[in-house]
Structure 1
Amino acid sequence: MPSVEKLLIRAVEATDRPPFSAAVALIHRDGRPVESAAVGELARWADTTGTPAPAADRRPVTPDTLFDLASVTKLFTTTVLLGLADEGTVDLDEPVARRLPEFDTPERREVTTRRLLTHTSGLPALLRLWTDHPDRSARIAAILNAPLVSPPGTAFEYSCVGFIVAGLLAERITGQPLPDLVTERVCRPLGLTDTGYLPDPARIARTAATEYQPDAGRGLVRGSVHDENSWSLGGTAGNAGLFGTAADLARFGEMLRQGGSLDGVRVLRPETVAEMTRDHLPAHLDPGFRHGLGVRIADPNWMGALAGSGAYGHTGFTGTSLTVDNRRGLVVILLTNRVHPSRDWSDIAGLRRAVADAAAVNR
């Protein structure tokens, strides 16, 4: 089995149009790093025609390179809500409309926080907020009035809309902005000094570029959230918007693997992590994997050999992933910018499986 570093080097050097320009991988076993790799350049192209990026943007990737975590953000939103549940502030089975009256219609009264976190709310996968609505207030109204695509609890529909609602719910309950909640309840206790929304200029300088988006009037995106819906809401939504490093994300994964605490600091109760990481889908719902609260479970499409151990975690559209395998004591991080310079250029499912397989045999 090739080393993780060789797997990444082969991918970035495979063709003139590799699946990413930047990648960092990190494998922890029993709480200790056992393999790591950082390859490539922060940016390679200025656009989708093959124009090279300026030399200043083509700096080498290092272990402290930041990546747009994309939907891995959903795990942080989940952790905030589960922490509030631990305190008795949130009831996972309470209708969301009790806290967000704007969400209240007869068909939505069965939408609960649990169903938001398990993608069984019936809310649609996506909306085009950035093209269909003129400003943030109109976009939030569109989210809270999104028509259901199925009755709550009857189908699995992976829904970024649902996680935007989850972030709005956390804000409404606490009266605090979601970035502050993530910082105060997750990042600061765990010492995640490089993880957060809206990176400052110093962090942008070591952030991997993502997509060239001229149709959205953005040009080459770097240091601003790639997800257009989150971007249109100011870059701080519950579905996407966090940036972070492999080391920070590994610490977050270790907190889950160790039952909600790390280095003597407790973020979630052990029973809450157990509830988060168990299968919540009814047996008749079979999307090809299982699902907990926020986390996907045993997905062979990207977990490779780890899926058979009941591993859990999440991926991000930009090319990121976090996988935790409690049976093997593993936390596996793969961060890439696979949407650079175009989302249509690559599919890294095979690389994710290869990295997971390498972690499974690493000793």
Structure 2
Amino acid sequence: MFINKDLNDKFNPVTSHVHNTYSKVDGSGAAIVIIENDRVVTENYWGSHSKSLNARTTQEDTQFHVASVRKSYIGFAVAYAVHHGYIASIDDLVTKYLPELDTSLLNGTTLRNLLTHTHGLMEIDGEISREFALGQSWAYRGINIHLLTKIVKKTTGKTVSQILSEQVFQPLSFTESGWYAESNDKLAEVIREPGEPNWHPYKSTDGDQMNMYVSARELAYWGYIHLKEGFINEKQIVDKEVLKLATTLQSPKLIDVDLPQNGFLWFVKDLPAQKSEIGELVPKGSYQILGYTGVAVLVIPKHHVVAVRMFNSFGSPAGFDYLPDIRSFGDTVMRCL
């Protein structure tokens, strides 16, 4: 896949915003790519793959660890399973597909709850417990991702990575997006804060672990595929309905209306919500996903814009609050329009 470039200074304030964030987090490399009206209008790279002497310079084919941004790819796989009938409905009980789980503990938990972080479950040392009553609140935990990837494999007979490869990566010639068991010279190192545990070297490449790396340009293309509803180069290459499912509001009605809102794991902008990670100025119908390494992709259909930022930092250093920063990122994009 290739998108023509028409680089200009329209989004210079966003470039400055990303560079400013880069100076605050503990990373060695960063990037920004913005697509507007079917053209790459901003593209910049800074730093290197690590803090080592003679480390590879950050460039177009540099692949960053995307952390929780991988959930948008998992959301696609679930939407694929729903659209093709492998999963009858996201309002089905989780235990319909995973009957070995404790029915009393899950207590009516549905796939919708897993997809929108309203399940109330948590897992510590392999033991599942309930954090809050089903559908009564919102919490960002890992157990829902573990369960969703199991359901995808059980119902479709394919792994998340196989579905993405067949449905997206191969048809669009993506070569800089995937799950890796071993390092290579195109993968930027994850820079960790002192005292943070080392990043786990996961061996599975099924798409069920946190070892996904993507280049800035292919993450922007990923957002662009959703923006265009799979209609690329005058052809319907990716199924429109799968993409629409993934980015449409799916959250159940919650007691606290200020909690974040989700599609198939994407954060979506619908009604005003004080705890949303999407900027106040970003219009309704937009969607975004963010990773713990600071990586983010924001899609604004109303203005035909995709904005991607990439860092290779891990977590938030002292004094840095990611939530105001990512909201400000989106609001800065909007001020440029």
Q: TM-score w.r.t. structure 1 length?
A: 0.77
Please tell me whether residue 254 in structure 1 is matched to residue 264 in structure 2.
no
The alpha carbon displacement at 1:343 in A equals 4.8
Q: Superposed, which structure 2 residues align to 1:37-56 within 5 Å? A: 37-44=44-51, 53=52, 55-56=53-54
Please tell me whether residue 120 in structure 1 is matched to residue 102 in structure 2.
no
Partner residue, 2:307:
332
Partner residue, 1:158:
140
Question: What is the aligned counterpart of 2:326 among 352, 355, 360?
Answer: 352
The alpha carbon displacement at 1:106 in A equals 2.4
The alpha carbon displacement at 1:287 in A equals 4.4
Please tell me whether residue 178 in structure 1 is matched to residue 153 in structure 2.
no
CA contact (8 A) 2:116 2:250 kept: no
Amino acid across the alignment from 1:328:
H
Mind listing any 5+ residue stretches in structure 1 that lack a counterpart?
Answer: 45-52, 133-141, 219-225
Question: What is the aligned counterpart of 2:172 among 190, 196, 220?
Answer: 190
CA contact (8 A) 1:97 1:103 kept: yes
- 1:102-129 per-residue CA deviation (whole Å, 9 max, x = no partner) reads 22422325222221111112212x63xx
- 1:60-112 per-residue CA deviation (whole Å, 9 max, x = no partner) reads 21122110011011110110110111111112222121222222422325222
- 1:7-37 per-residue CA deviation (whole Å, 9 max, x = no partner) reads 444454x5xx754321111111122211111
CA contact (8 A) 2:283 2:300 kept: no
Partner residue, 2:240:
269
Structure 1 residues 232 and 242 mapped into 2: Cα distance closer, same or farther (>3 Å)? Answer: closer
Please tell me whether residue 61 in structure 1 is matched to residue 71 in structure 2.
no
Q: Superposed, which structure 2 residues align to 1:219-258 within 5 Å? A: 226=199, 228=200, 234=204, 236=206, 238=208, 240-258=210-228
Q: Superposed, which structure 2 residues align to 1:124-163 within 5 Å? A: 124=122, 127=124, 132=125, 142=126, 146-163=128-145
Partner residue, 2:16:
6
Structure 1 residues 100 and 106 mapped into 2: Cα distance closer, same or farther (>3 Å)? Answer: same
- 1:238-262 per-residue CA deviation (whole Å, 9 max, x = no partner) reads 4633110111111211121122443
More displaced stretch, 72-81 vs 183-192: 183-192
Query: 3-state DSSP class of the match of 1:172?
Result: helix
Query: 3-state DSSP class of the match of 2:146?
Result: helix
Question: What is the aligned counterpart of 1:313 among 288, 304, 323?
Answer: 288
Please tell me whether residue 79 in structure 1 is matched to residue 52 in structure 2.
no
Amino acid across the alignment from 1:242:
M
- In structure 2, what is the Cα distance between the partners aligned to 1:83 and 1:63? 30
CA contact (8 A) 1:156 1:287 kept: no
- CA RMSD of superposed structures (Å): 3.0
Please tell me whether residue 36 in structure 1 is matched to residue 43 in structure 2.
yes
Amino acid across the alignment from 1:24:
A
Query: 3-state DSSP class of the match of 1:151?
Result: coil
Amino acid across the alignment from 1:66:
Q
- In structure 2, what is the Cα distance between the partners aligned to 1:235 and 1:215? 28
- In structure 2, what is the Cα distance between the partners aligned to 1:60 and 1:101? 49
Instruction: Pick the structure with more helix per residue.
Output: 1
Partner residue, 2:279:
304
More displaced stretch, 178-187 vs 86-95: 178-187
| Paired residue total | 320
Query: 3-state DSSP class of the match of 1:334?
Result: strand
- In structure 1, what is the Cα distance between the partners aligned to 2:231 and 2:109? 30
Partner residue, 2:4:
none
Structure 1 residues 180 and 270 mapped into 2: Cα distance closer, same or farther (>3 Å)? Answer: closer
The alpha carbon displacement at 1:214 in A equals 8.9
Identity of aligned residues (%): 21
- In structure 2, what is the Cα distance between the partners aligned to 1:152 and 1:261? 38
CA contact (8 A) 2:30 2:310 kept: yes
Amino acid across the alignment from 1:359:
V
Structure 1 residues 217 and 191 mapped into 2: Cα distance closer, same or farther (>3 Å)? Answer: same
Amino acid across the alignment from 2:238:
V
